[in-house]
Amino acid sequence: MRINKGILIVFEGIDGTGKTTQAQILFDKLISHGLETVYFREPSTGRWGQEVKKKAAQTDSITPEEELELFQRDRQENVRENLRPALDENKVVILDRYYFSTIAYQGAKGIDQQRIRRINEAFVVIPDMVFIMDIDPGKGLDRIANRKKKDLLFEQEDYLKKVRMIFQSFQGKNILHLDSARSIEEVAEEIEKSVFDYLGSFILH
């Protein structure tokens, strides 16, 4: 099975929504159907992404503006080195977090959301589909309580309540909000149906 254009599918949501699990399930499903599919995540594995991860391990290690700058540098590199080349080759690109996370997480710290959107949309690839996974922040944190490495900069319940509200405010024909408190199987089934319905018009016969 081949498609006649690159497709960018993004998974978003607060910590503990299961977005990474769902992104990986979809990746495996698309591969099993013979579709050329690649998987990336943000922060990336590049220089700036590693810097973000290092700072995230400690509270108050960085100002919101400095966070924003690091995420921008990482995303510019990711778009240039990974996303655009894969999309130009008509691959399906699955991306775990994108600029919607920056709007939500840094916006919840007081940076103007429209400003964040403007500076990102000046250089990013606009996604074809965005799945925003939604869950109560307390439940989400319970799900990831056993993680060995914690992002203390971001994994705070009161803060995540603000982040969740921003995620819930995103609207658009390419954006689908999902209740991720349901079973993994239920959520995966809904995602799979939405994706294959969308891909149908781009499949080469």
Q: Quote the pLDDT of residue 16.
A: 87
Strand-pairing partners, residue 10, are 95, 130
Q: Quote the pLDDT of residue 143.
A: 74
Q: Quote the pLDDT of residue 94.
A: 98
Number of Cβ within 10 Å of residue 165's Cβ equals 12
Domains contained in the chain, CATH given: 2-204 (3.40.50.300)
Q: Quote the pLDDT of residue 181.
A: 92
Residue 8 near residue 125 (C-beta atoms within 8 A) = yes
Q: Quote the pLDDT of residue 115.
A: 96
Q: Quote the pLDDT of residue 64.
A: 84
Q: Quote the pLDDT of residue 153.
A: 47
Measured between alpha carbons, how far is 21 from 25 in angstroms, rounded to an integer?
A: 6
Spell out, as residue ranges, where the chain has pLDDT lower than 70. 55-61, 144-155, 205
Q: Quote the pLDDT of residue 45.
A: 80
Q: Quote the pLDDT of residue 148.
A: 47
Q: Quote the pLDDT of residue 167.
A: 97
